[in-house]
């Protein structure tokens, strides 16, 4: 689908000026083995920009979508956590430029993070929640999930990997933005990987296309397209402020309602778009 070119989206263009610049941990943020192992190259070079970007949610409604070919046409494809492409190419495509991982995926043995081929030959970004008021020193002493050993093992066995960690205080600036633009009171838990992905990509893309963040007519009680588990909180939120995130995404969208609610497709102008 093509976005109508006369729509102005105040929300995204406004986010560019009112949220702190996307920030990953840097070597000089703290003296620690973790930051010593951060790659010398940034996650994205300053001049690394993309025309079309695709963000693929992990939602079960992607099953039978036949969107794989369209997704793979994008210049950049962002996926989350352990969501597979193998066996699901018809619906979700096979191209992956970058994965955002929460610290559970890096830490818990069931995900086999250090050895799994899923996390090789692509950019990686992980995040771990801190307390709202924690300093970096306080967070690193007791992260929510103890990802540090696996992060270092991965970096040592894949020295060319481009694998960064979100600055934990950036997550809270993003949360502040969501609360400031939401009438209802939201729980004080960081945004989901999906919203983080949107904030990371808006400055780099002309257009950001989002798949199944607003559920399509394929709506189901299942959680993920690659699993049978039934859990509606994956779609509407229980810990993350997911519903508020989705309303903001919808506000920034340029696609007609028919497209959004039938096909679960949102298109959001990035800051590289002429309308911003
Ligand atoms: O489910 P999850 O989320 O990995 O999904 C990635 C992003 O896709 C969007 N989503 C997902 C499912 C669904 N039915 N609708 C959706 O819109 C959301 O924007 C979501 O962010 C996460 O954000 O990292 C999260 O991770 C899972 C879980 O840790 C991983 O899948 C690994 O198993 C969290 N679930 C639990 O911890 C039980 C989830 O809360 C957030």
Going by alpha carbons, the residue nearest to atom 34 of ligand 1 is 234
In the block, residue with structure tokens 């840097």: 26
In the block, residue with structure tokens 């993350």: 240
Mean pLDDT of the chain: 94
In the reported structure, the alpha carbon of residue 222 is separated from the centroid of ligand 1 by a whole-number distance in angstroms of 12
Question: Could you identify the atom of ligand 1 that is nearest to the CA of residue 231?
Answer: 14
Q: Rounded distance, CA 271 to CA 206, Å?
A: 6
pLDDT computed for residue 19 by the predictor = 82
In the reported structure, the alpha carbon of residue 275 is separated from the centroid of ligand 1 by a whole-number distance in angstroms of 31
In this predicted structure, the answer to whether residue 210 has a pLDDT above a threshold of 90 is yes
In the reported structure, the alpha carbon of residue 156 is separated from the centroid of ligand 1 by a whole-number distance in angstroms of 28
77 strand-pairing partners:
54
Q: Rounded distance, CA 48 to CA 169, Å?
A: 24
Going by alpha carbons, the residue nearest to atom 19 of ligand 1 is 194
Torsion angle (degrees, nearest 10) of CA 179, 214, 193, 254: -80
Residues 25-66 pLDDT 10s:
999 999 999 999 999 999 999 999 999 999 999 999 999 999
Question: Could you identify the atom of ligand 1 that is nearest to the CA of residue 80?
Answer: 6
In the reported structure, the alpha carbon of residue 28 is separated from the centroid of ligand 1 by a whole-number distance in angstroms of 31
- Site to substitute for ligand 1 among 58, 119, 242, most atoms within 8 A of C-beta: 58
pLDDT computed for residue 137 by the predictor = 96
Going by alpha carbons, the residue nearest to atom 9 of ligand 1 is 57
Question: Are 206 and 2 within 8 A, CB to CB?
Answer: no
In this predicted structure, the answer to whether residue 215 has a pLDDT above a threshold of 50 is yes
In this predicted structure, the answer to whether residue 106 has a pLDDT above a threshold of 70 is yes
Joined together, the tokens standing for residue 53 give: 């970007």
Closest alpha carbon to 19 in 241, 202, 242: 202
In the block, residue with structure tokens 């509407």: 236
Cβ-based neighbours of 200, under 8 Å, separated by 6 or more:
22, 78, 100, 125
In this predicted structure, the answer to whether residue 271 has a pLDDT above a threshold of 90 is no
Ligand 1 neighbours (beta carbon < 6 A): 57-60, 80-82, 102, 104-105, 192-194, 213, 223, 234-235, 239-240
| ipTM higher than the 0.90 cut | yes
In the reported structure, the alpha carbon of residue 240 is separated from the centroid of ligand 1 by a whole-number distance in angstroms of 9
| Angle, CA of 153, 154 and 155, to the nearest 5° | 95
In the reported structure, the alpha carbon of residue 201 is separated from the centroid of ligand 1 by a whole-number distance in angstroms of 18
pTM of the model: 0.96
pLDDT-based confidence at residue 274 (cuts at 50, 70, 90): confident
In the reported structure, the alpha carbon of residue 216 is separated from the centroid of ligand 1 by a whole-number distance in angstroms of 17
In the reported structure, the alpha carbon of residue 180 is separated from the centroid of ligand 1 by a whole-number distance in angstroms of 23
**DSSP per residue over 215-253, as a string?**
--TT--SBSBTT---B-THHHH-SSS-HHHHHHHHHHH-
Going by alpha carbons, the residue nearest to atom 36 of ligand 1 is 234
Residues 130-145 pLDDT 10s:
999 999 999 999 999 9
């Amino acid at each position: 689908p093509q976005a109508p070119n006369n729509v102005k989206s105040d929300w995204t263009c406004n986010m560019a000026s009112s949220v702190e610049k996307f920030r990953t941990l840097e070597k000089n943020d703290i003296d620690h083995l973790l930051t010593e192992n951060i790659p010398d190259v940034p996650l994205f070079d300053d001049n690394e920009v993309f025309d079309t970007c695709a963000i693929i949610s992990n939602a079960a409604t992607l099953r039978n979508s036949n969107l794989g070919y369209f997704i793979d046409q994008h210049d950049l494809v962002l996926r989350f956590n352990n969501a597979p492409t193998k066996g699901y190419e018809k619906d979700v495509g096979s191209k992956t430029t970058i994965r955002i991982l929460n610290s559970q995926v890096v830490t818990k043995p069931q995900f086999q993070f250090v050895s799994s081929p899923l996390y090789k030959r692509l950019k990686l970004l992980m995040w771990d929640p801190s307390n709202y008021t924690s300093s970096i020193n306080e967070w690193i002493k007791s992260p929510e999930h103890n990802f540090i050993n696996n992060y270092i093992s991965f970096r040592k066995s894949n020295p060319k990997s481009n694998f960064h960690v979100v600055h934990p205080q950036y997550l809270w600036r993003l949360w502040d933005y969501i609360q400031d633009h939401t009438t209802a009171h939201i729980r004080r838990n960081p945004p989901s990987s999906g919203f983080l992905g949107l904030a990371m990509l808006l400055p780099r893309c002309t257009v950001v296309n989002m798949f199944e963040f607003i559920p399509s007519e394929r709506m189901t009680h299942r959680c993920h397209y690659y699993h049978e588990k039934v859990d509606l909180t994956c779609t509407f939120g229980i810990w993350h402020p997911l519903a508020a995130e989705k309303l903001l995404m919808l506000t920034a969208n340029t696609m007609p309602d028919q497209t959004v609610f039938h096909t679960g497709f949102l298109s959001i102008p990035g800051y590289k778009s002429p309308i911003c």
